[in-house]
Amino acid sequence: MASRKKKLQGLVAATITPMTEHGEINFSVIGQYVDYLVEEQGVKNIFVNGTTGEGLSLSVSERRQVAEEWMTKGRNKLDQVVIHVGALSLKESQELARHAAEIGADGIAVIAPFFLKPWDKVRAEELLDGIQEKIPTFQGLKFSDTDLLDFGQCVDQNRERQFAFLFGVDEQLLSALVMGATGAVGSTYNYLGKKTNQMLEAFERKDFSSALNHQFCIQRFINFVLKLGFGVSQTKAIMTLVSGIPMGPPRPPLQRASREFIDEAKARLESLDFLSSTYLKDRNLESCS
Ligand SMILES: CC(=O)N[C@@H]([C@@H](O)[C@H](O)[C@H](O)CO)[C@@H](O)CC(=O)C(=O)O
């Protein structure tokens, strides 16, 4: 992240890139999407063009347009907009980073090299060692692994620094909060933001029993969909179901979620009272047992 604005905290929705039925980007619903996140889910930070946003399936030109649209529609509504600029080509990544700065993004994020890479695996702890000398504007880490030892080491070794430690495994967020996560970036905050915010609030007031209940409730749903096969296509289908905003199909080679997945996910969302705004307006949203 490049900006020195303020430390990124709380939930960050990894945004979906809405598509038309023909696979083109559907810019027309992004304004509605911003309002949905802010008003229905209480989520005011976004992470654009990441995995969930199919950033690596978009052309550079499309990525620029998507970033611009989120910046425009999010103005005076969102707190922070982080644009993911990682690409296989360093030149493309640099172009996207410059563009993000030009349009006033609050920060950029970059995935580590993942195809032609200089090392097999670098632990995040090693990455952070001396990073500010190399990248003076470095602001924080998005940690999308389940290795809580590595995550804990990152937090512990950098206590003097004001880094944001954003966890990226939604079903295990509570464990990461205990280890010092300052926030989280994830796909499920698009539609479980409200529920997850309740967990963050419970954790903040040290009501750990209630925080655990919220995490288990979220975990139950995520575990259920993971078993069915969960990815970007399924996230698009669930978000369409919950928000009522058409997210469209994913870009090939991904395939749309099956009818069977959608029906099962819908039934499970209903049973957990997660289908709040579109289907269950009149239900008690707090009950998840
Ligand atoms: C591999 C993956 O897609 N992980 C998701 C999680 O939010 C994930 O969907 C969730 O924890 C369910 O497993 C995020 O970390 C992805 C993300 O932040 C992004 O879209 O860039």
| CATH class belonging to 10-207 | alpha beta
Pick from 45, 50, 65: nearest CA to 3: 45
Residue 222 CA: which ligand 1 atom is closest?
12
* Mean pLDDT over the full length of the chain: 92
Q: Which residue has the higher pLDDT, 176 or 113?
A: 176
Distance 170 CA to ligand 1 centre (A): 7
Q: Are 78 and 41 in contact (CB under 8 A)?
A: no
Residue nearest to atom 17 of ligand 1 (CA): 186
For residue 6, the model assigns a pLDDT of 83
Whether the CB of 54 sits within 6 Å of ligand 1: no
Would you say residue 1 has pLDDT above 50? Answer: no
Give the global pTM: 0.94
For residue 281, the model assigns a pLDDT of 46
* Residue range 157-204, pLDDT digits in tens: 999 998 999 999 999 999 999 999 999 999 999 999 999 999 999 999
Would you say residue 279 has pLDDT above 50? Answer: no
Whether the CB of 50 sits within 6 Å of ligand 1: yes
Would you say residue 288 has pLDDT above 70? Answer: no
For residue 119, the model assigns a pLDDT of 82
Would you say residue 12 has pLDDT above 60? Answer: yes
Q: What are phi and psi of 211, to 5 degrees?
A: -60, -40
* Residues above pLDDT 70, as percent of the chain: 93
Would you say residue 3 has pLDDT above 90? Answer: no
Distance 258 CA to ligand 1 centre (A): 20
Would you say residue 276 has pLDDT above 80? Answer: no
- Domain borders along the chain are 10-207
For residue 284, the model assigns a pLDDT of 41
